[in-house]
Amino acid sequence: MQIKENFEIKNLTTYKIGGKVSKLYMPETLEEFTEVLRTTKDYIVLGSCSDVLFSSNGFSGSIIITTEMKRFEIKGTKVYADCGVKDPLIAQKVSEASLSGLEFLIGLPGTIGGAVYMNAGAHGQCIADVLVSCCLYDKETGEVVFKQNSEMDFSYRHSILHNGRYILLSAEFELSKKPPEEIKELMDRNLTFRKTIQPSLANPNAGSVFKNPENDSAGRLLDKAGVKSFDMPNVKVWDKHANFIINKGNATSEDVLELMVKMYQAVKNMYTIELKPEIIFIGDKTKKEEELCNILYKTKTQK
Protein backbone atom coordinates (compact mmCIF):
# COMPACT_ATOMS: atom_id res chain seq x y z
CA MET A 1 0.00 0.00 0.00
CA GLN A 2 1.29 3.42 -0.95
CA ILE A 3 1.27 6.05 1.82
CA LYS A 4 2.32 9.62 1.04
CA GLU A 5 2.54 12.76 3.17
CA ASN A 6 1.91 16.39 2.11
CA PHE A 7 0.71 15.14 -1.25
CA GLU A 8 -0.35 17.61 -3.97
CA ILE A 9 -3.86 16.27 -4.59
CA LYS A 10 -4.46 18.30 -7.76
CA ASN A 11 -2.31 15.77 -9.62
CA LEU A 12 -5.04 13.16 -9.09
CA THR A 13 -8.16 15.25 -9.73
CA THR A 14 -9.84 15.68 -13.10
CA TYR A 15 -10.14 19.43 -12.34
CA LYS A 16 -6.35 19.69 -11.77
CA ILE A 17 -7.16 21.82 -8.73
CA GLY A 18 -6.30 21.25 -5.07
CA GLY A 19 -3.68 21.88 -2.42
CA LYS A 20 -1.68 19.50 -0.24
CA VAL A 21 -3.31 16.79 1.84
CA SER A 22 -1.64 15.76 5.08
CA LYS A 23 -1.69 12.04 4.29
CA LEU A 24 -2.67 9.95 1.28
CA TYR A 25 -3.38 6.20 1.40
CA MET A 26 -3.73 4.00 -1.67
CA PRO A 27 -4.77 0.50 -0.51
CA GLU A 28 -4.66 -2.39 -2.99
CA THR A 29 -6.87 -4.94 -1.21
CA LEU A 30 -10.12 -4.93 0.78
CA GLU A 31 -8.10 -6.00 3.83
CA GLU A 32 -5.74 -3.03 3.54
CA PHE A 33 -8.68 -0.72 2.94
CA THR A 34 -10.64 -1.83 6.00
CA GLU A 35 -7.48 -1.65 8.14
CA VAL A 36 -6.91 1.98 7.10
CA LEU A 37 -10.57 2.79 7.79
CA ARG A 38 -10.33 1.28 11.26
CA THR A 39 -7.06 2.97 12.25
CA THR A 40 -7.34 6.41 10.60
CA LYS A 41 -9.25 9.43 11.86
CA ASP A 42 -10.54 12.39 9.89
CA TYR A 43 -10.42 10.77 6.46
CA ILE A 44 -12.29 11.08 3.17
CA VAL A 45 -12.55 8.23 0.67
CA LEU A 46 -12.30 9.02 -3.05
CA GLY A 47 -12.03 7.08 -6.30
CA SER A 48 -11.00 8.80 -9.53
CA CYS A 49 -11.55 12.28 -8.07
CA SER A 50 -13.77 13.04 -11.06
CA ASP A 51 -16.74 14.71 -9.38
CA VAL A 52 -14.95 16.72 -6.70
CA LEU A 53 -13.58 20.20 -6.26
CA PHE A 54 -10.64 20.18 -3.88
CA SER A 55 -9.76 23.32 -1.97
CA SER A 56 -6.56 24.97 -3.19
CA ASN A 57 -5.99 25.54 0.52
CA GLY A 58 -5.47 21.77 0.92
CA PHE A 59 -6.85 19.35 3.47
CA SER A 60 -5.44 18.77 6.95
CA GLY A 61 -6.92 15.27 7.20
CA SER A 62 -6.27 12.03 5.33
CA ILE A 63 -7.43 11.00 1.87
CA ILE A 64 -7.93 7.37 0.91
CA ILE A 65 -7.84 6.72 -2.85
CA THR A 66 -9.35 3.40 -3.95
CA THR A 67 -8.17 3.17 -7.57
CA GLU A 68 -5.51 0.53 -6.81
CA MET A 69 -8.31 -1.84 -5.72
CA LYS A 70 -8.92 -3.37 -9.13
CA ARG A 71 -10.28 -6.86 -8.45
CA PHE A 72 -13.41 -8.01 -10.29
CA GLU A 73 -14.93 -11.35 -11.23
CA ILE A 74 -17.56 -12.47 -13.73
CA LYS A 75 -19.51 -15.62 -12.89
CA GLY A 76 -22.28 -16.35 -15.36
CA THR A 77 -24.50 -13.26 -15.28
CA LYS A 78 -23.17 -12.18 -11.87
CA VAL A 79 -20.40 -9.60 -11.59
CA TYR A 80 -18.41 -8.86 -8.43
CA ALA A 81 -16.24 -5.72 -8.33
CA ASP A 82 -14.11 -3.90 -5.77
CA CYS A 83 -14.94 -0.25 -5.21
CA GLY A 84 -11.84 0.97 -7.06
CA VAL A 85 -12.55 -0.73 -10.40
CA LYS A 86 -12.73 1.88 -13.15
CA ASP A 87 -16.16 2.28 -14.77
CA PRO A 88 -15.02 2.05 -18.42
CA LEU A 89 -12.96 -1.08 -17.67
CA ILE A 90 -15.83 -3.02 -16.09
CA ALA A 91 -18.20 -1.89 -18.87
CA GLN A 92 -15.76 -3.22 -21.48
CA LYS A 93 -15.09 -6.51 -19.67
CA VAL A 94 -18.75 -7.42 -19.13
CA SER A 95 -19.54 -6.53 -22.73
CA GLU A 96 -16.89 -9.04 -23.84
CA ALA A 97 -18.86 -11.63 -21.85
CA SER A 98 -22.06 -10.60 -23.71
CA LEU A 99 -23.53 -9.10 -20.56
CA SER A 100 -25.79 -6.05 -20.69
CA GLY A 101 -26.70 -3.52 -17.99
CA LEU A 102 -23.51 -1.52 -17.47
CA GLU A 103 -23.10 -0.06 -20.97
CA PHE A 104 -23.65 3.46 -19.58
CA LEU A 105 -20.43 3.22 -17.53
CA ILE A 106 -18.27 3.18 -20.67
CA GLY A 107 -18.09 6.97 -20.83
CA LEU A 108 -17.85 7.75 -17.11
CA PRO A 109 -14.42 8.68 -15.69
CA GLY A 110 -15.10 7.32 -12.18
CA THR A 111 -15.02 4.06 -10.23
CA ILE A 112 -17.61 1.53 -9.06
CA GLY A 113 -17.50 3.14 -5.61
CA GLY A 114 -18.48 6.52 -7.00
CA ALA A 115 -21.06 4.98 -9.33
CA VAL A 116 -22.85 3.25 -6.45
CA TYR A 117 -22.49 6.29 -4.18
CA MET A 118 -24.16 8.53 -6.78
CA ASN A 119 -26.44 5.86 -8.26
CA ALA A 120 -24.84 6.81 -11.55
CA GLY A 121 -26.93 6.52 -14.66
CA ALA A 122 -27.31 7.53 -18.28
CA HIS A 123 -29.34 6.61 -21.37
CA GLY A 124 -32.10 4.86 -19.44
CA GLN A 125 -29.77 2.71 -17.32
CA CYS A 126 -28.57 3.18 -13.75
CA ILE A 127 -26.69 1.32 -11.04
CA ALA A 128 -29.85 0.65 -9.02
CA ASP A 129 -31.27 -1.36 -11.94
CA VAL A 130 -28.56 -4.02 -11.80
CA LEU A 131 -27.07 -3.92 -8.30
CA VAL A 132 -27.84 -6.97 -6.15
CA SER A 133 -25.93 -6.26 -2.94
CA CYS A 134 -23.10 -4.26 -1.42
CA CYS A 135 -20.30 -5.10 0.97
CA LEU A 136 -19.93 -2.05 3.20
CA TYR A 137 -17.76 -0.78 6.03
CA ASP A 138 -19.87 0.53 8.92
CA LYS A 139 -18.06 3.52 10.45
CA GLU A 140 -20.17 3.40 13.61
CA THR A 141 -19.39 -0.20 14.51
CA GLY A 142 -16.12 -0.77 12.64
CA GLU A 143 -17.65 -3.90 11.10
CA VAL A 144 -18.08 -5.14 7.54
CA VAL A 145 -21.77 -5.50 6.68
CA PHE A 146 -23.85 -6.46 3.64
CA LYS A 147 -26.91 -4.64 2.29
CA GLN A 148 -29.31 -5.67 -0.45
CA ASN A 149 -30.44 -3.33 -3.22
CA SER A 150 -33.70 -2.59 -1.37
CA GLU A 151 -31.70 -1.35 1.64
CA MET A 152 -29.52 1.07 -0.33
CA ASP A 153 -32.07 3.93 -0.44
CA PHE A 154 -31.49 4.53 -4.14
CA SER A 155 -33.00 7.56 -5.84
CA TYR A 156 -31.80 10.07 -8.44
CA ARG A 157 -28.03 10.53 -7.87
CA HIS A 158 -28.47 9.28 -4.32
CA SER A 159 -27.83 6.24 -2.15
CA ILE A 160 -27.61 5.39 1.54
CA LEU A 161 -23.87 6.08 1.26
CA HIS A 162 -24.66 9.80 1.34
CA ASN A 163 -25.50 9.64 5.05
CA GLY A 164 -21.82 9.10 5.82
CA ARG A 165 -22.15 5.97 7.92
CA TYR A 166 -21.22 3.40 5.27
CA ILE A 167 -18.34 3.10 2.82
CA LEU A 168 -18.56 0.78 -0.17
CA LEU A 169 -15.98 -2.01 -0.25
CA SER A 170 -17.37 -4.06 -3.15
CA ALA A 171 -20.58 -4.62 -5.09
CA GLU A 172 -22.44 -7.49 -6.74
CA PHE A 173 -24.42 -7.01 -9.96
CA GLU A 174 -26.86 -9.18 -11.91
CA LEU A 175 -26.67 -8.52 -15.64
CA SER A 176 -28.52 -10.01 -18.60
CA LYS A 177 -27.28 -11.84 -21.68
CA LYS A 178 -27.53 -9.98 -24.97
CA PRO A 179 -25.97 -10.33 -28.42
CA PRO A 180 -22.51 -8.67 -28.39
CA GLU A 181 -23.36 -6.51 -31.39
CA GLU A 182 -26.33 -4.97 -29.51
CA ILE A 183 -24.15 -4.21 -26.51
CA LYS A 184 -21.42 -2.70 -28.67
CA GLU A 185 -23.94 -0.55 -30.54
CA LEU A 186 -25.31 0.86 -27.26
CA MET A 187 -21.82 1.50 -25.89
CA ASP A 188 -20.76 3.25 -29.08
CA ARG A 189 -23.89 5.38 -28.93
CA ASN A 190 -23.16 6.27 -25.31
CA LEU A 191 -19.59 7.26 -26.11
CA THR A 192 -20.60 9.35 -29.12
CA PHE A 193 -23.27 11.12 -27.07
CA ARG A 194 -20.86 11.92 -24.23
CA LYS A 195 -18.19 13.20 -26.63
CA THR A 196 -20.80 15.45 -28.22
CA ILE A 197 -22.26 17.02 -25.09
CA GLN A 198 -19.45 16.76 -22.54
CA PRO A 199 -15.92 18.16 -22.56
CA SER A 200 -13.05 15.68 -22.59
CA LEU A 201 -10.62 15.67 -19.68
CA ALA A 202 -8.15 17.46 -21.96
CA ASN A 203 -10.24 20.44 -20.78
CA PRO A 204 -9.96 19.88 -17.00
CA ASN A 205 -13.46 19.59 -15.51
CA ALA A 206 -15.35 17.61 -12.88
CA GLY A 207 -18.41 16.63 -14.88
CA SER A 208 -21.86 18.14 -14.40
CA VAL A 209 -21.77 21.09 -12.01
CA PHE A 210 -25.41 20.98 -10.88
CA LYS A 211 -27.96 18.20 -10.45
CA ASN A 212 -31.04 18.15 -12.66
CA PRO A 213 -34.12 19.46 -10.84
CA GLU A 214 -37.09 17.13 -10.86
CA ASN A 215 -38.60 16.87 -14.36
CA ASP A 216 -36.14 19.39 -15.78
CA SER A 217 -32.57 19.77 -16.96
CA ALA A 218 -29.96 21.90 -15.21
CA GLY A 219 -28.22 22.36 -18.55
CA ARG A 220 -31.39 23.71 -20.16
CA LEU A 221 -32.04 26.15 -17.31
CA LEU A 222 -28.45 27.35 -17.27
CA ASP A 223 -28.44 27.76 -21.05
CA LYS A 224 -31.67 29.82 -20.99
CA ALA A 225 -30.18 31.93 -18.18
CA GLY A 226 -27.30 32.84 -20.50
CA VAL A 227 -24.42 31.37 -18.54
CA LYS A 228 -22.50 30.12 -21.59
CA SER A 229 -21.14 33.66 -21.88
CA PHE A 230 -19.63 33.48 -18.39
CA ASP A 231 -15.88 33.63 -18.90
CA MET A 232 -13.54 34.54 -16.04
CA PRO A 233 -9.73 34.82 -16.11
CA ASN A 234 -9.07 31.22 -15.02
CA VAL A 235 -12.41 29.42 -15.50
CA LYS A 236 -15.28 29.49 -17.97
CA VAL A 237 -18.57 27.77 -18.72
CA TRP A 238 -18.09 25.31 -21.56
CA ASP A 239 -19.51 26.74 -24.77
CA LYS A 240 -21.15 23.47 -25.88
CA HIS A 241 -23.05 22.68 -22.66
CA ALA A 242 -23.94 25.14 -19.92
CA ASN A 243 -23.57 22.68 -17.00
CA PHE A 244 -19.79 22.32 -17.21
CA ILE A 245 -17.01 24.52 -15.86
CA ILE A 246 -13.58 24.34 -17.51
CA ASN A 247 -10.30 25.05 -15.74
CA LYS A 248 -8.46 27.23 -18.26
CA GLY A 249 -5.12 26.28 -16.75
CA ASN A 250 -4.40 28.02 -13.47
CA ALA A 251 -7.77 28.01 -11.71
CA THR A 252 -8.16 27.81 -7.94
CA SER A 253 -11.05 26.27 -6.07
CA GLU A 254 -12.22 29.79 -5.23
CA ASP A 255 -12.39 30.62 -8.97
CA VAL A 256 -14.66 27.63 -9.58
CA LEU A 257 -16.91 28.40 -6.59
CA GLU A 258 -17.31 32.02 -7.70
CA LEU A 259 -18.41 30.90 -11.17
CA MET A 260 -20.74 28.29 -9.67
CA VAL A 261 -22.41 31.02 -7.58
CA LYS A 262 -22.83 33.22 -10.67
CA MET A 263 -24.47 30.32 -12.52
CA TYR A 264 -26.66 29.43 -9.53
CA GLN A 265 -27.84 33.04 -9.14
CA ALA A 266 -28.54 33.44 -12.87
CA VAL A 267 -31.00 30.51 -12.77
CA LYS A 268 -32.46 31.60 -9.43
CA ASN A 269 -33.09 35.12 -10.74
CA MET A 270 -34.77 33.90 -13.93
CA TYR A 271 -36.72 30.88 -12.69
CA THR A 272 -36.69 31.11 -8.85
CA ILE A 273 -35.18 27.62 -8.97
CA GLU A 274 -32.22 26.94 -6.69
CA LEU A 275 -29.93 24.41 -8.36
CA LYS A 276 -28.09 21.93 -6.16
CA PRO A 277 -24.42 21.20 -6.87
CA GLU A 278 -23.50 17.75 -8.12
CA ILE A 279 -19.81 18.50 -7.56
CA ILE A 280 -18.64 17.76 -4.01
CA PHE A 281 -16.37 20.34 -2.37
CA ILE A 282 -13.61 18.97 -0.15
CA GLY A 283 -10.89 20.63 1.89
CA ASP A 284 -9.97 23.35 4.38
CA LYS A 285 -11.95 26.38 3.28
CA THR A 286 -10.77 29.97 3.22
CA LYS A 287 -13.20 32.56 4.59
CA LYS A 288 -14.28 33.42 1.04
CA GLU A 289 -14.81 29.73 0.20
CA GLU A 290 -16.90 29.35 3.35
CA GLU A 291 -19.17 32.16 2.17
CA LEU A 292 -19.49 30.75 -1.35
CA CYS A 293 -20.14 27.20 -0.08
CA ASN A 294 -22.85 28.48 2.26
CA ILE A 295 -24.69 29.93 -0.76
CA LEU A 296 -24.31 26.80 -2.90
CA TYR A 297 -24.58 23.93 -0.46
CA LYS A 298 -26.78 25.46 2.29
CA THR A 299 -25.30 22.98 4.73
CA LYS A 300 -21.73 22.35 5.77
CA THR A 301 -19.60 20.76 3.07
CA GLN A 302 -16.96 18.09 3.68
CA LYS A 303 -14.53 19.46 6.30
Integer Cα distance of 120 and 191 in angstroms: 15
**Within its chain, how far is the Cα of 276 from the centroid?**
15
How far, in Å, are 15, 56, 162, 256 from residue 20 at the CA level? 15, 8, 25, 18
Catalytic, 157? Answer yes
Catalytic, 200? Answer no
**Catalytic-labelled residue, pool 56, 62, 133, 208:** 208
Catalytic, 278? Answer yes
- The end-to-end CA distance of the chain, in Å, is 25
**Within its chain, how far is the Cα of 300 from the centroid?**
19
Give yes or no for a contact between 64 and 49, defined as CB atoms under 8 angstroms apart.
no
**Within its chain, how far is the Cα of 156 from the centroid?**
14
**Catalytic-labelled residue, pool 48, 62, 95, 157:** 157
Residues 6+ apart with CB under 8 A from 134: 116, 146, 147, 152, 168, 169, 170, 171, 172
Question: Which of 160, 155, 109 lies closest to 134, judged by CA?
Answer: 160
How far, in Å, are 109, 152, 184, 220 from residue 257 at the CA level? 22, 31, 38, 20
> Which residues are catalytic, by number?
157, 208, 278
